[in-house]
């Protein structure tokens, strides 16, 4: 059985990676599909091409995972690809209300079934938006994202990271 893991992935986090690697053991194939989230209109840090590049690098070691993008309704993508299982990760109860609504709607309008995997508790506080915010001030996000995302964030905020490392005063001085 195959599954589609849709999301904004701006950028992919360790929480996404945890859900993905566990799903890759359960499904024959998982497609990570970058989709448009109307609630995040104009708020993306990375372009679609950058996000795809990060996803390809972050998932290169997973042979049954591929990367794709689509700009319409998720259910249309599912139909087009002849897939019926949507995979989503849940971090905490706060995710549940939103995910429940979307899962029901996707079943109503497209007969697509949603399967949830609970992200490990160590990632329950990690979100792409928080990671972007920390990185925008030059903070260390290397534990919270795969290496490809960390490198892309460092490149995006190169000036801030350079300035912040210059400001750091070592305890001996």
Residue 36 interacts with ligand PNS (CB under 6 A): yes or no = yes
The one segment of 4-12, 17-25, 119-127, 154-162 that binds ligand PNS by CB under 6 A = 4-12
What one-character-per-residue DSSP string does 71-107 give?
A: SS-HHHHHHHHT--EEEEEE-SHHHHHHHHHHHHHHH
Radius of gyration (C-alpha) of the chain in whole angstroms: 17
Beta carbon nearer to ligand PNS, 55 or 161:
55
**Cis ω on the peptide bond leading into residue 11 (within 30° of 0)?**
yes
Nearer to ligand PNS, 38 or 169 (CB): 38
Q: Residue 92 is encoded by which pair of tokens?
A: 């905490």
Choose, from 40, 104, 122, 147, the residue flagged as catalytic: 40
Coil, helix or strand at residue 129 = helix
Instruction: Name the token pair of 144.
Output: 């919270």
Q: Closer CB to ligand PNS, residue 36 or residue 79?
A: 36
Task: Provide the b/e sequence for 36-67 (b: ≥16 CB within 10 Å).
Answer: beeeeeeebbbeeebbbebbebbbeebeebeb
Between 105 and 120, CB nearer to ligand PNS: 105
Name the 3-class secondary structure at 4. Answer: strand
**Residue 73 in contact with ligand PNS, rule: CB under 6 A:** yes
Stretch that binds ligand PNS, among 34-42, 131-139, 141-149, 164-172 (CB under 6 A): 34-42
Known binder of ligand: residue 8? yes
Among 2, 21, 22, 35, binds ligand PNS (CB under 6 A): 35
Q: How many CB atoms lie within 10 A of CB 148?
A: 18
Residue 91 marked ligand-binding: yes
Q: Is 16 a catalytic residue?
A: yes
Known binding-site residue numbers for substrate? 8, 40, 74, 88
The residues of the shown chain that bind ligand PNS, judged by CB under 6 A, are 6-8, 35-37, 40, 73-74, 102, 105
- Catalytically active residues are 16, 40, 91, 128
């Amino acid at each position: 059985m195959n599954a589609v893991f849709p999301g904004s992935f701006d950028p992919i986090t360790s929480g996404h990676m945890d859900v993905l690697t566990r799903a890759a053991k359960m499904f024959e194939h998982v497609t990570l599909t970058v989709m448009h989230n109307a609630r995040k209109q104009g708020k993306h840090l990375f372009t679609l091409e950058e996000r795809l590049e990060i996803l390809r690098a972050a998932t290169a070691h997973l042979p049954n995972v591929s990367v794709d993008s689509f700009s319409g309704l998720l259910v249309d993508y599912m139909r087009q690809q002849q897939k019926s299982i949507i995979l989503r990760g849940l971090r905490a109860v706060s995710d549940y209300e939103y995910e429940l609504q979307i899962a029901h709607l996707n079943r109503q309008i497209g007969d697509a079934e949603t399967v949830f995997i609970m992200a490990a508790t160590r990632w329950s506080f990690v979100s792409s938006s928080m990671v972007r915010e920390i990185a925008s001030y030059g903070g260390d996000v290397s534990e919270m994202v795969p290496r490809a995302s960390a490198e892309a964030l460092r490149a995006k905020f190169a000036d801030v990271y350079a300035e912040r490392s210059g400001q750091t005063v070592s305890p001996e001085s």
